[in-house]
Chain A
């Protein structure tokens, strides 16, 4: 719990690249309210580097229970990298080093005795590009529960599949063709299938990495509705390029800039009265 690695950090307080026309000092501290009273996940002083090149600098953030937190920021600001640290997806990338402390329900997820497989059963993820397995819809959704032994009989798996697909808003569209390959559907349907697959293992937290960037506006709207419904039962962290989407779906919004967490505030506040100059520059469209 008190494992804080020291890490050769980059030049603090120095922006390697300042947005044109904006003269600001880089904040030493994240402004706004990064901490909450009932955190599901806590992130303290996290640095991430790829083969020595630092991608995330000293991020501290709480993700509250059953909240939807949106992460926004210009391309390459590290928001996806940060999201992938939360269920150790970065483990698979060679040369990726994470230091600092990330906890789930008070447990250090980078502890030596933490099995990433068990972690990912609690923290699910939905990717940018819909990536259903080239198997039937049924097998796509049933894969996770079978893997973790969540169901002992065919009937139980049937139930999980139905509940997950219903929650993902896909049941009525696919209930007659569960044996068809998941790859044969439209992009929006595939993405909802991926969400169904993620919630089939009943995770506590769902990470979404720009889930709508490959979808058309109608399909995006359906996913957004879905996020609103899911937020009643799950904690959701979503990375998005679209500020409108962040404004529509999230309770809180975190603004990343060049690997640093600049500002965290209630979504309403960040979009109406941002505290930091960089945040304001971004949401008014001057950088991005």
Chain B
């Protein structure tokens, strides 16, 4: 102990205080800047995706006069399904284009002209004739989907760097200018993006097939992983004796949670497809694989939730004569449920965004049909993003970003649901 006069002690404390206050301020600034950095990254991500993807929600249409000519179509009865399916509706579109641009001559030029309207336009005409048989032999003006080259060019006309030409030719530009002058080109909201499956033609490709595939996969996953995970967690936490075996199980669960997801894909391929002969590429097998992947996460979060139930509640229940099962069912599970559900939904969100294991079990295939059940071939949203990002057509760039937006929307909805659920189920105890 040195001898300090009150004055010098006061001085020393004051000097130390200033230093401490500076350190406090610095400490807070570190935290705040970490948050600002994180928010900036999120903002950049969203800004980039939205700026690239928002145009995918619009689609370019061309107004064209077409004749539902009985002879050209080869259809005399619109109610006849066979006639309708073999009818040459694309020929009608081609005829409409020829009539619109009468000065186009030569096979090459004509083929170029035909390519400004999407291949899917013929099917649109067929559907409208099926709905309205009286259209037969009538001449009407219809809005038809433009080809993706036209679509990309038209939507990028206002860009600072000039329109994206890509595979546009001078001829096509001239024709498009002419159509625009007469007001026969417009963009509309792209409903088919949300109602169609995948397609090789970007203007026809939709997200619905992948979204339904993800939905069916996740249904399997949640209905298997949640009950299994909760049952395992309850047993380990409430009933299992503490010994070498349970320690071993615990270590293994923690290790499984850290196993790269593609390994689970290989496991699913070996066990479910090769051994149990579950059909490949279907949501059923995808759900099983994702169950294996999410199970450790759900067990760990459920155990944490069960641990956080105050022991006094258990004692109270035992004290009035509840059996161990009643203690769990009446008190521990209801109190742990918010935490367990939050863990489960976060696990589901991870499963929703998982691509690698699905690649191994064939859910990476090009599938046009929208799956209608658990055993229909399907892909999933993240796989669809991967597939589109891999496609050469320029129009798939915006489709990719739009699909990412849909996936993110799914995730935001799921996480919001988790937060709301937790808030509603949470009960206070003293």
User: Within 8 Å of chain A (Cβ to Cβ): is B177?
Assistant: no
Residues of chain A lying within 8 A (CB to CB) of residue B241: 94
User: Within 8 Å of chain A (Cβ to Cβ): is B276?
Assistant: no
Give the one of B313, B321, B323, B326 with max A CB within 10 A: B321
Residues of chain B lying within 8 A (CB to CB) of residue A148: 321
Q: Which residue of A lies closest to B334 (CB)?
A: A134
Q: Which residue of A lies closest to B241 (CB)?
A: A94
**Which of B315, B316, B321 is the one whose CB lies under 8 Å from A132?**
B316
* Contacts A133-B331, A134-B335, A183-B428 given; does A120 touch B321 at CB 8 Å: yes
Residues of chain A lying within 8 A (CB to CB) of residue B319: 87, 89, 120, 124-127, 198
What are 18 A-B contacts with C-beta separation under 8 Å?
A89-B315, A92-B314, A92-B318, A125-B319, A127-B315, A127-B316, A131-B310, A131-B312, A131-B313, A131-B315, A133-B313, A133-B317, A143-B330, A144-B321, A148-B321, A181-B427, A183-B428, A194-B316
Provide the bound-state CA to CA distance between A263 and B190, in Å. 89
Size of the B side of the interface (Cβ < 8 Å), in residues, is 23
Enumerate A158-197 residues with CB–CB distance to B below 8 Å: 181, 183, 190, 194, 197
- The bracket for how many chain A residues form the interface is 20 to 34
**Which of A130, A147, A183 is the one whose CB lies under 8 Å from B320?**
A147
* Contacts A131-B312, A183-B428, A183-B430 given; does A89 touch B321 at CB 8 Å: no
By the criterion CB–CB under 8 Å, are A117 and B321 in contact? yes
Indicate with 1 or 0, residue by residue over A109-149, a CB within 8 angstroms of chain B CB atoms. 00000000110110011110111111000000001100110
Provide the bound-state CA to CA distance between A87 and B315, in Å. 12
By the criterion CB–CB under 8 Å, are A129 and B428 in contact? no
* Contacts A131-B312, A134-B428, A190-B430 given; does A117 touch B317 at CB 8 Å: no
Name the distance in Å between A44's Cβ and chain B's nearest Cβ.
24
By the criterion CB–CB under 8 Å, are A131 and B321 in contact? no
Q: Which residue of A lies closest to B324 (CB)?
A: A92
User: Within 8 Å of chain B (Cβ to Cβ): is A201?
Assistant: yes
By the criterion CB–CB under 8 Å, are A143 and B312 in contact? no
Residues of chain B lying within 8 A (CB to CB) of residue A126: 319
Q: Which residue of A lies closest to B320 (CB)?
A: A144
Provide the bound-state CA to CA distance between A134 and B313, in Å. 9
Provide the bound-state CA to CA distance between A145 and B211, in Å. 50
Q: Which residue of B lies closest to A122 (CB)?
A: B321
Give the A-B contact count at a CB cut-off of 8 A: 67
Provide the bound-state CA to CA distance between A148 and B318, in Å. 13
Q: Which residue of A lies closest to B315 (CB)?
A: A127
Name the distance in Å between A95's Cβ and chain B's nearest Cβ.
9
Name the distance in Å between B107's Cβ and chain A's nearest Cβ.
81
Q: Give me the interface of B with A, judged by CB distance under 8 Å.
A: 241-242, 310, 312-323, 326, 330-331, 335, 427-430
By the criterion CB–CB under 8 Å, are A118 and B315 in contact? no
Provide the bound-state CA to CA distance between A117 and B318, in Å. 8
Provide the bound-state CA to CA distance between A143 and B316, in Å. 11
By the criterion CB–CB under 8 Å, are A134 and B320 in contact? no
Residues of chain A lying within 8 A (CB to CB) of residue B430: 130, 183, 190
By the criterion CB–CB under 8 Å, are B320 and A201 in contact? yes
Residues of chain B lying within 8 A (CB to CB) of residue A120: 318-321
By the criterion CB–CB under 8 Å, are A147 and B326 in contact? yes
By the criterion CB–CB under 8 Å, are A133 and B318 in contact? no
Name the distance in Å between B328's Cβ and chain A's nearest Cβ.
13
Residues of chain B lying within 8 A (CB to CB) of residue A121: 321
Name the distance in Å between A269's Cβ and chain B's nearest Cβ.
32
* Contacts A89-B315, A133-B331, A183-B430 given; does A118 touch B242 at CB 8 Å: no
Provide the bound-state CA to CA distance between A87 and B322, in Å. 13
By the criterion CB–CB under 8 Å, are A131 and B322 in contact? no
* Contacts A133-B331, A190-B430 given; does A124 touch B320 at CB 8 Å: yes
By the criterion CB–CB under 8 Å, are B429 and A201 in contact? no
Provide the bound-state CA to CA distance between A267 and B335, in Å. 43
Residues of chain B lying within 8 A (CB to CB) of residue A129: 312
Leading 10 A-B pairs by shortest Cβ distance: A131-B312, A120-B321, A144-B320, A125-B319, A121-B321, A134-B427, A131-B316, A134-B429, A117-B321, A183-B430
Provide the bound-state CA to CA distance between A125 and B315, in Å. 10
By the criterion CB–CB under 8 Å, are B321 and A197 in contact? no
Name the distance in Å between B357's Cβ and chain A's nearest Cβ.
39
Q: Which residue of B lies closest to A126 (CB)?
A: B319
Enumerate A54-90 residues with CB–CB distance to B below 8 Å: 87, 89
Provide the bound-state CA to CA distance between A124 and B319, in Å. 6
Residues of chain A lying within 8 A (CB to CB) of residue B315: 89, 92, 127, 131
Provide the bound-state CA to CA distance between A113 and B427, in Å. 38
Residues of chain A lying within 8 A (CB to CB) of residue B314: 92
Name the distance in Å between A86's Cβ and chain B's nearest Cβ.
12
Residues of chain A lying within 8 A (CB to CB) of residue B242: 94
Residues of chain A lying within 8 A (CB to CB) of residue B323: 117
Provide the bound-state CA to CA distance between A131 and B429, in Å. 9
Given contacts A92-B315, A131-B313, A143-B330, 6 further A-B contacts (CB under 8 A): A92-B318, A134-B335, A134-B428, A190-B430, A201-B320, A201-B321
Residues of chain B lying within 8 A (CB to CB) of residue A144: 320-321
Provide the bound-state CA to CA distance between A231 and B350, in Å. 59
Q: Which residue of B lies closest to A132 (CB)?
A: B316
Residues of chain B lying within 8 A (CB to CB) of residue A94: 241-242
By the criterion CB–CB under 8 Å, are A183 and B429 in contact? yes
Give the one of A147, A181, A197, A200 with max B CB within 10 A: A147
Name the distance in Å between B427's Cβ and chain A's nearest Cβ.
4
Provide the bound-state CA to CA distance between A46 and B320, in Å. 24
Residues of chain B lying within 8 A (CB to CB) of residue A147: 320-322, 326
Residues of chain A lying within 8 A (CB to CB) of residue B331: 133
Give the one of A121, A129, A134, A198 with max B CB within 10 A: A134
Provide the bound-state CA to CA distance between A125 and B427, in Å. 25
Give the one of A133, A194, A197 with max B CB within 10 A: A133
Provide the bound-state CA to CA distance between A201 and B321, in Å. 9
Q: Which residue of A lies closest to B327 (CB)?
A: A92
By the criterion CB–CB under 8 Å, are B322 and A117 in contact? yes
Provide the bound-state CA to CA distance between A117 and B323, in Å. 6
Provide the bound-state CA to CA distance between A94 and B315, in Å. 14
Provide the bound-state CA to CA distance between A129 and B315, in Å. 11
Name the distance in Å between B235's Cβ and chain A's nearest Cβ.
16
Q: Which residue of B lies closest to A115 (CB)?
A: B323
Name the distance in Å between A239's Cβ and chain B's nearest Cβ.
14
By the criterion CB–CB under 8 Å, are A118 and B429 in contact? no
Name the distance in Å between A273's Cβ and chain B's nearest Cβ.
37
